[in-house]
Amino acid sequence: MNHHITLVVNGVVREASVPARRLLSDCLRHDLGLTGTHVGCEHGVCGACTVLLDGEPVRSCLTFAVTVDGREITTVEGLATGGELSPVQRAFAECHGLQCGFCTPGFLCTATAFLRDNPAPDDEEVLEAISGNLCRCTGYQNIIKAVHRAAEIQAEEAG
Amino acid sequence: MKPPPFDYHGPASLGETLRVLAEVGPHGKVLAGGQSLIPLLNMRLAAPAHLVDINRVAELDTIAAEPGGVRVGALARHAAVERSAAARAVQPLLGQALRLVAHPVIRNRGTVVGSLVHADPSAELPAVLALLGGSVRLARLGGEREVAAAEFFTGPLESAVAPGELAVSAFFPALPERSGTAFCEVARRHGDYAVAGVAAAVTLDEDFRIAAARVACVSVGPVPVVADVTEVCGPRPAASVGWDVDWDAVARAVQDRIDPEEDIHATATYRRHLTGVLVTRALKSAAHEAGHGEQGEL
Amino acid sequence: MSERREPAREHVTGVFGKRVQRREDARLITGRGRFLDDLGGNALAAAFVRSPHAHARIRDIDVAAALDVDGLVAIYTWEDLPGVLAEPLPLLIPHPALTHGRTAYPLAREVVRHVGEPVVMVVARDRYVAEDACSLIEVDYEILKPVVGVEEAAQAAHLVHEDVPGNVAAHMVQEVPAPDGRSAREAIEAAPHTLAFRLDIERSACTPLEGKGVYARWDADDESLRVYSSTQTSTSVRMAIAAKLGLPLPKVEVIAPDVGGGFGVKIVHPWPEEILVPWAARLLDREIKWTEDRREHFISSAHERAQVQYVRVGFDDDGRVLGLDVNILHDNGAYTPYGIIVPIVTSTQLLGPYKIGAYRVEFSSIYTNTVQVTPYRGAGRPQGVFCMERTMDRIAAHLGRDRTDVRAANFIQPDEFPYDQGMTFQDGRPLIYDSGDYPESLRMLKELIGWDSFPAMRDQAAAEGRRIGIGVGCYVEGTGVGPYEGGHVQVTSDGRVHVSTGLTSQGQGHETVFAQIVATELGVPFEKVSVVTGDTRRFGYAVGTFASRAAVVSGNAIALACRKVREKALRIAADALEADPRDLEITDGVVHVVGAPSASIPLSTIAVLSNPLRYAFDDETRRATQFASAPSPDRPPVSEGEEPGLEGRDYYSPIRSTFASGMHAAIVETDPLTAEIKILRYAVVHDCGKLINPMIVEGQIHGGVAQGVGGALYEKMVYDQHGQLLNASFMDFLMPYATEVPRIETTHLETPSPLNPLGVKGAGEAGVIPVSAVIAAAIEDAEGIPIDRMPISPSDLHALRLAR
């Protein structure tokens, strides 16, 4: 039996008819065609599938689409506004915070929510914020640098 | 790794939830945060015929902090309890433990009651409930019961929740005045289940002597292992010279109570050793907090 | 094929050597990357029934219960496979010493030899349904005795393959006598000091965040196949598919889209799925996709590292090695599709930056009922370096000398290059180091980490009740192996430059680095250059991405192709400007006479002129049509020996590998009570010849070191006695998070390679190579306990303390 659900994804109302077991990650990728959200483990450890649910980062592979019927989702495709890259996106490119780019959408979503709540973090807070996301390419050093740089850009643009 | 099919129920009220649970009985499984259940489903290690999703039952999304303790509803997320200043004020151990539960993103979705029902002996929250002598309220169609922590955890990944029942809330009692708590653990990676971990609570008397001291240990038995070490610890005179506690004896007393096993991450011997180290660390830290740090270095 | 030995161009201008931001990022940070599973939204899904047993005979396969699943399309077993598809998968790299090479069938035939081996293929509407069907298929197995653990396997109480005696796939000895002719064993006997010990390294794996995947589209009208694969070699996958499916090569195209990390596992090919999915797509005339999930990746791709090494060494009072004798037991898992490359690399690269008096190395490559072993970043070097560096530390400890002094006493000196180690390397060519400066590298490292001031730091820590230690490790890495790569460079009439090379990318930033080479070589704006890799439609001849070879082999091929284009552009411009080509220079995409900037012609115009046209379709092309100008009536529009178009293709085929090198040092702290291990500092001196983009090279080092830290302290594949992999998930296979990886301090040394036009050496694998050796040395230094087994956990360290 399929369930008819409505999600507000990146500000756009999207409808889908999905079986109850459809993971939110698969719903976004396959039913809605938003393939920017990646699936790296399907058991909640790697964080590649992290999206924002009503603004809070969650694992979309550990969420059923039907559970979040009616809620707002932000994916990596929704981070840029009006064609302009967000400070987090720009900082990741500037600091070489990605290599293969597969884990990157999860880091970007996580960092975006983190910097919204904590615009001027210290080293330890940045580390804690991204501590649930795996990256096999970068060794994280430039990701940490990028989160700090994003905070800087955010502050510059707010100031 | 995709979940097997199941019949989905999305009740909007507690009453409706209990009716559905009564109907599906042993074939039903409750979905709250899903951070432990959905991995099991994705790996097809669990295949319930019915999934009862309580995420729409708003009346379960509660955190009630009263002088006597904190009652946490079935839908309260780890992150919400962690952020709740009121809950932290009444029972600081909640915040101390929640910081150690997985990663922030998991805590955004996972629930406190869900962690208790999952009853992983390596998890922090069952140890907290056991240490504090808290309880879990189980509701079923036409009734409810309050199960004490000591009876709630019945084995690894096994709790007292019966078919047709829903764990609607958990109660974490407050501690008396001049009490302190701590949670110390060693995990392989930050955020992993602990190789060993110890929650401790210490209460001082009016003369700042140890009046009560308890620990709960994780990953060293089928359920959280609670040990009352008041006798071994004290009462010792409080003094600027320190607590004068024979910490080695305290550690040994706890080590005698645990039954660790070897797994791919650690030997039983190491777990036993580590538990001893962490018992001392956690108790010292709890005692220090109980004395508001006024009693000098331990 | 070019065999030029031009001196490296002076890259004083242009973007070569600059920290240029990456081309790839724009799409990857906005969710517009195209990874395998992002393609084929309407394709059917494939899933596999895989063996739950390590060693078993298949008695029966019963698919009846699965046939009722709504959405099921097809079920295949080995019996269904036609012709050569039913034969074992290819043995990719045969070797005379590999006397008993064995490979798996695409779907198991009669016997399964590791947990995870594919037995049945299911095609269904989507992956959920495909997995439902898999769960209903009943395979009846007769359990056979599993062979687990390389030493147990070597005793051969039970066999992995009935027809492989002793479980020995290969046995090989290489021996280099001392200058005086003595053998290693004689030299050791005669040495003033000797030591003998055993070392042990456990299994890890590449575990890229994106698993493997294949997506096939059959075009029945055209009778052609387009396959997307998350591979490190699209050209070779293409040839394998054409051969296995009996298709003409031009009717098969293979594309590596964005690939979410490889680290070696995706160089192996064809994976069963890489031929089964295209085969089924043609058979069913439907698009089919298989996306490997995480559990599949753990149990049915490849692992690496596991070796046991027995070492005997003889040395003099200064710590100079007079003879070294190493016997290696190499666990190759159940099959050997990639031959014996890993143990060959271990046994040759073990020598590092040292002159060893006499060397004998023997290895046995042994079958076990576990996942096959194929190269993982470093490809056998981490084990070899672990062996040699632990040996150096033991010599220093025995003699009571500084560990860096012992190393320095054995270094090959800068004036001794090219240095012939007297062995045969993994490419079948002599192991001759081209360049390096090891004493300078060590000097820089000691300065960076503060080697000489460490004793004071240790005393300070001890006074605080803390335990710290320092370790060092050196390596030499043969990079950029042949046989060849090619590059194609085309300038179009809009002034854009289109570059393609056949090898693939998995996050190394090739689009950026190759564009930097082209912009510099051709004198065009970086922004005008676009690069395509790993697409057989664009470039059909290639080998693949492995052995830190992309920048060296494709980079130089592209540079050579650029030089052809440049030559042609200058020839045409000289004609048009009535100038001597030797007086011309290209700047910002414009050819001009040196010293007379007004006499100039843009490359876009030259592109027009290079391609005489009959038909015009815009203003630019009108200038190239037959009535537009008055070309010489005496010669044909396209001169003899010329081709239309401003483009060039060239290949670079290295005479042999170029040898990068590096040295790492770490300071670690061990908790006296909990035995937790923390890396306080990690320092790297790295020499990969000329740097094309230092930012990208540093990123490669960071990532390599992080994988090394994983392999040293966290990651291992744990098999039980039944051959079950106990930690086939990210829950229990402990890949480091940001919280486990230290900050890495990096310094570069540049000793250019004399072997190639750009003077570059490979950089992709370097970071991972010495990490286990370095961390082991530092822990040993902190604890005073010999560390001869990696990885090491707090529990392991605690056990060592108890055993002391």
Instruction: Tell me if A141 and C702 make a contact (CB, 8 A cut-off).
Output: yes
Judged by DSSP in three states, C780 sits in helix
Last residue of a domain, one of B174, B199, B234: B174
With respect to residue B113, please indicate whether it lies within any of the assigned structural domains: yes
pLDDT per residue over B161-204, tens digit each? 999 999 999 999 999 999 999 999 999 999 999 999 999 999 99
pLDDT of residue B243: 65
**Residues in C lying within 8 Å of B, measured between beta carbons:** 127-128, 131-132, 135, 293-295, 673-676, 714, 718, 726-727, 729, 731-732, 734, 736-737, 739-740, 793-795, 798-799, 802
B10 and B145 housed in the same domain? yes
Measured between CA atoms, the residue of chain A closest to residue C708 is: A139
Q: Are residues A10 and A73 in the same domain?
A: yes
- Based on the fold, state whether residues C421 and C460 are members of the same structural domain: yes
Number of domains in chain A: 2
What distance in Å separates the CA atoms of residue C145 and residue B134, rounded to the nearest whole number? 50
CB C310 within 8 A of CB C345: no
Asked if residue C182 and residue C90 are part of one domain, the reply reads no
Mean pLDDT of B260-268: 96
User: Do residues C101 and C241 share a domain?
Assistant: yes
Task: Give the per-residue pLDDT at B241.
Answer: 41
Q: Do the Cβ atoms of B81 and B73 come closer than 8 Å?
A: no
Peptide bond before C754: cis, by omega within 30 degrees of 0? no
Q: Pick from B10, B46, B216, B171: which is nearest to B118 by CA? A: B46
The pLDDT value given to residue A100:
98
- Taking the Cβ of residue A62 and every Cβ of chain C, the question of whether any pair is shorter than 8 Å is answered with no
Question: Which of C400, C196, C386 has the alpha carbon at shortest distance from C318?
Answer: C400
Please give the Cα distance from C208 to A46 (Å, whole number): 11
Smallest Cα–Cα separation from C73: which of C120, C118, C130? C130
Average pLDDT, chain B: 94
Q: Are residues B77 and B216 in the same domain?
A: no
Domain CATH number, residue B212: 3.30.390.50
Instruction: Say how far apart CA B196 and CA A92 lie, in whole Å.
Output: 37
Q: With CA atoms as reference, report the closest residue to B90 among B109, B73, B113, B69.
A: B69
Residues 6 or more apart whose Cβ sits within 8 Å of residue C428 = none
CB contact under 8 A, A142 and C702: yes
For chain A, percent helix, then strand, then coil, each to nearest 5? 40, 20, 40
Chain B residue set in contact with C, beta carbons under 8 Å:
1-5, 39, 43-44, 186, 188-192, 195, 264-267, 269-270, 273-274, 277-278
What's the rounded Cα separation, in Å, for the pair C478 and C426? 9
pLDDT of residue C640: 84
**C620: in domain:** no
**What CATH number is associated with residue A31?**
3.10.20.30
Q: Is C534 touching A (CB cutoff 8 A)? A: no
Q: Residue C375: what residue type?
A: P
From C800's Cα to the closest Cα of chain B, the distance in A is 11
Same domain, A68 and A93: no
Q: Provide the β-strand partners of residue A64.
A: A23
- Kindly list the residues from chain C whose CB atom is less than 8 angstroms away from the CB atom of residue B273: 798
Look at residue B235 in the predicted model and tell me its pLDDT: 72
Domain presence at residue C8: no
Are C399 and C489 within one domain?
Answer: no
The 3-class SS string of C274-310 reads: HHHHHHHHHHHCCCEEEECCHHHHHHHCCEECCEEEE
* Residue at B272 is within a domain: yes
Q: Specify whether A66 is located in the same domain as A95.
A: no
* Average pLDDT, 10 consecutive residues per value, chain A (159 residues): 96 97 98 98 97 98 98 98 94 98 98 97 97 97 98 93
C-alpha C57/C-alpha B224 separation (Å) is 43
Alpha carbons C749 and C762: distance in angstroms, whole number: 14
Whole domain around residue B5: which residue ranges?
A: 1-53+60-174
Radius of gyration of chain A (CA): 16
DSSP class of C794:
H
Same domain, yes or no: C577 and C523:
yes
Same domain, A16 and A33: yes
Number of A–C residue contacts, CB under 8 Å: 170
Q: Is residue B297 part of a domain?
A: no
| CA distance linking residue C127 with residue B1, whole number of Å | 9
Based on the fold, state whether residues C489 and C414 are members of the same structural domain: no
Domain boundary among A78, A108, A124: A78
Whether omega for the bond prior to residue C418 falls within 30 degrees of 0, making it cis, is: yes
Both B41 and B156 in one domain: the answer is yes
Q: List C-alpha distances in Å: A129 to A95, C738, C791.
A: 18, 10, 28
Across the interface, do C209 and A40 touch by the CB < 8 Å criterion? yes
If one counts the domains in chain B, the total is: 2
Contacting residues of A for C259, CB less than 8 Å apart: 100
* Min distance B39 CA to chain A CA atoms (Å): 5
Residue C115 in tokens: 């947990």
Regarding whether A114 and A50 lie in a shared domain, the answer is: no
Query: Phi-psi category of A56—alpha, beta or left, where left has phi over 0 and alpha has psi -120 to 50?
Result: beta
Chain C contacts of B39, Cβ < 8 Å?
Answer: 731
- C152 belongs to a structural domain: no
Query: Does B213 lie in the same domain as B170?
Result: no
Q: Using a CB–CB cutoff of 8 Å, tell me whether A148 touches chain C.
A: no
Tell me: do B245 and B166 sit in the same domain. Answer: no
Q: Indicate whether B110 and B232 sit together in one domain.
A: no
**What are the chain B neighbours of C800 within 8 Å (beta carbons)?**
none
A27 touches chain B (CB under 8 A): no
Same domain flag for C450 and C318: yes
Residue C770: phi, psi to the nearest 5?
Answer: -95, 5
The residues on B that touch A, with CB distances below 8 Å, are 1-8, 10, 31, 34-35, 38-39, 41-43, 51, 53, 55, 79, 102-106, 108-109, 190-191
Q: Is the omega angle on the peptide bond into residue A119 within 30 degrees of 0, that is, cis?
A: no
Three-state SS annotation for chain B? CCCCCCEEECCCCHHHHHHHHHHHHHHEEEECCCCCHHHHHHCCCCCCCEEEECCCCHHHCCEEEECCEEEEECCCEHHHHHHCHHHHHHCHHHHHHHCCCCCHHHHCCCEHHHHHHHCCCCCHHHHHHHHHCCEEEEEECCEEEEEEHHHHEEECCEECCCCCCEEEEEEEECCCCCEEEEEEEEECCCCCCEEEEEEEEEEECCCCCEEEEEEEEECCCCCCEEEECHHHHCCCCCCCCCCCCCHHHHHHHHHCCCCCCCCCCCCHHHHHHHHHHHHHHHHHHHHHHHCCCCCCCC
Report the residue of chain C nearest B195, measured CA to CA.
C795
In a domain, C619, yes or no: no
Same domain, B184 and B164: no
The 3 state secondary structure assigned to A76-109 is HHHCCECCECCHHHHHHHHCCCCCCCCCHHHHHH
d(CA B188, CA C142): 38
Task: Report helix angle C555-577 to C510-522, nearest 10.
Answer: 30
Interatomic CA distance for residues C274 and C267, integer angstroms: 12
Backbone angles phi, psi at A28, to 5 degrees: -65, -45
Regarding whether B207 and B189 lie in a shared domain, the answer is: yes
Are residues B161 and B36 both part of a single domain? yes
Cβ atoms of A118 and A148 closer than 8 Å: no
The chain B residue lying nearest C718, using CA atoms, is B264
B294 pLDDT more than 80: no
- Of A60, A78, A96, which residue constitutes the final position of a domain? A78
Is C244 in the same domain as C275? yes
pLDDT tens across B28-37, in order?
Answer: 999 999 999 9
Q: Is residue C158 part of a domain?
A: no
Same domain, C272 and C402: no
Among C29, C702, C743, the residue with its CB nearest the CB of A104 is: C29
Residues B268 and B285 in one domain: yes
Residue with tokens 């994705």: B42
Residues B259 and B145 in one domain: no
Select from B124, B159, B174 the last residue of a domain.
Answer: B174
Structure tokens at C663: 């040295």
Query: Encoding tokens for residue C178?
Result: 């001392």
Token pair of A5 as six digits: 């659900």
- Kindly state whether residues A11 and A53 are assigned to the same domain: yes
Same domain, C354 and C221: no
Tell me the longest C-alpha to C-alpha distance in chain A: 53
Task: For chain C, say whether A20 makes contact (Cβ under 8 Å).
Answer: no
**Do residues A153 and A92 both lie within one domain?**
yes
Looking at residue B208, its pLDDT comes to 84
Contact present, C22 and C510 (Cβ < 8 Å): no
Is C45:C284 a contact under the CB 8 Å cutoff? no
Exposed e or buried b per residue across C702-716, where buried means at least 16 C-beta atoms within 10 angstroms of its C-beta: bbbbbbbbbbbbbbb
CATH of the domain at C183: 3.30.365.10
| C712/A contact by beta carbon, under 8 A | no
Residues C476 and C537 in one domain: no
Which of A78, A108, A140 is a domain's end point? Answer: A78
Q: Do B186 and C794 touch (CB under 8 A)?
A: yes
Write down the pLDDT at residue B293. 56
CATH of residue C64: 3.90.1170.50
Please report the residues numbered 258 through 287 in chain C whose beta carbons come closer than 8 angstroms to any beta carbon of chain A.
258-261, 263
What per-residue confidence (pLDDT) applies to C410?
98
* B127, B142, B174 - which closes a domain: B174
Q: How far is C148 from chain B (nearest CA, A)?
A: 16
Whether residues B169 and B269 fall in one domain: no
- Which domain covers residue C597, as residue numbers? 25-33+482-610+645-652
Expressed as residue numbers, the domain containing A13 is: 2-78
Residue C558's closest CA among C532, C584, C578, C535? Answer: C532
* A131 contacts B191? CB cut-off 8 A: yes
- Which residue in C295, C674, C736 is closest to B277 by CB distance? C674
Which parts of chain C have pLDDT scores under 50?
1-12
Distance between CA C218 and CA C227 in Å, rounded?
A: 8
Contact criterion met (CB below 8 Å) for C658 and C548: no
User: Cα separation of B197 and B117, whole Å?
Assistant: 19
CB C601 within 8 A of CB C591: yes
A42 in B contact zone (CB under 8 Å): yes
Residues A107 and A49 in one domain: no
Q: Sign of dihedral through CA atoms B278, B283, B286, B288? A: negative
Provide the number of structural domains found in chain C: 3
| Residue C57 to residue C64: CA distance in whole angstroms | 20
What pLDDT is attached to residue C13? 53
Q: Find chain C residues with C-beta within 8 A of B247's C-beta.
A: none
| C285 lies in the same domain as C349 | no
